[in-house]
Structure 1
Amino acid sequence: MTDSIRWPELQALYGAAPVPDLSTCHFFHTHIDERGTSVTFGFETGRLPPHPKPEWSGNAYNTLRFWIEFTGVTGLRVSGILADAERAVRITEDGTSDHLRVSVVSDRRAISFRAAAARVPHTRVYLQGPP
């Protein structure tokens, strides 16, 4: 569930349209940086934003790729190492603090943690061919 979480970087692209539900996006990347206590997830979606960046104009594309970086990560738990197609992504505000609770769970694998902050540091579009 990400309804209460606002991603200003994505909201600028989608405007009044809802930002894609992360559980419906292709989850292609996880990077755990123990030195900076951060975790970065990579997602992609075919649901293109109605307000693309000016530098994207003139280029053919059908996929938006974006990364979410979580910082101030504590309580990291990882079970399994491969991504599953069927999984649930949940990012909720912790009602007892200013932290986020983050989890990605499938039948066989899971990652969960708390984070002090989250941002979308990078977005890009590209033309993805047929699978």
Structure 2
Amino acid sequence: MGDSDWTLIVDSAGTFTDAYARPPRLNECELFYVQIDERDASVTLGFETSVLPSSPPPAWTGLTHNAVEFYLRFMRVKELRIAGWDSSARDAVVTLDRCDDESVRVSVDGERSHLDFAASAPLLTRTRPFLRSDAS
């Protein structure tokens, strides 16, 4: 499935797909946040995009923004592997693939950064508009 159909894999992505006629592909977004929480066996990935929704939520009305950030949280993480991590991760290729056992395989591949794991119950946990000062 890869990054183009990520909204079909992620639970609670309905609010995102309601706002976007065509949600941005993960690889059109910048990965700006990675949190690995060993207590909850979870990984949270944060993305930024300058692709604005065609039908923004009513709560965004009147807000000045030129970018959107959203967070994907993966629960019950197993088989976590990290091989190098640096600033190249911001431009990494991120893929989500559904496995036969209904888990999700997540891969983050940058020039000198690699992270992959299996997880279940991926969730879209937060979406918010913001004004990015360096947007072109």
| TM-score w.r.t. length of structure 2 | 0.87
Give the equivalent residue in structure 2 for 1:39.
43
1:40 is displaced (CA, Å) by 0.2
- CA deviation string 1:52-93 (max 9, x = no partner): 121111111000000000111110001123241442111010
Is 1:93 matched up with 2:94? no
Q: Output the CA distance in 1 between the equivalents of 2:92 and 2:85.
A: 13
Q: What letter matches 2:94 in structure 1?
A: V
Unaligned ranges ≥5, structure 2: none
Q: Output the CA distance in 2 between the equivalents of 1:69 and 1:86.
A: 19
Supply the RMSD in Å over aligned alpha carbons: 1.4
Contact kept, 8 Å, 1:71 with 1:118, in 2: the verdict is yes
Structure 1 residue runs of 4 or more that deviate by more than 2 Å after TM superposition? 2-5
Q: Output the CA distance in 1 between the equivalents of 2:15 and 2:45.
A: 15
Q: What letter matches 1:8 in structure 2?
A: G
Q: Output the CA distance in 2 between the equivalents of 1:112 and 1:130.
A: 30
Q: What letter matches 1:10 in structure 2?
A: F
| TM-score w.r.t. length of structure 1 | 0.90
Contact kept, 8 Å, 1:4 with 1:93, in 2: the verdict is no
Q: Output the CA distance in 2 between the equivalents of 1:31 and 1:59.
A: 28
Give me the identity figure in percent.
33
Give the equivalent residue in structure 2 for 1:102.
106
Is 1:69 matched up with 2:70? no
| Corresponding residue to 1:124 among 105, 117, 128 | 128
The alignment of Structure 1 onto Structure 2 pairs a total of residues equal to 128
Unaligned ranges ≥5, structure 1: none
Task: Label 1:33 to 1:46 Cα distance change in 2 as closer, same or farther (>3 A).
Answer: same
Give the equivalent residue in structure 1 for 2:17.
11
Contact kept, 8 Å, 1:4 with 1:92, in 2: the verdict is no
Greater helix fraction, Structure 1 or Structure 2: 2
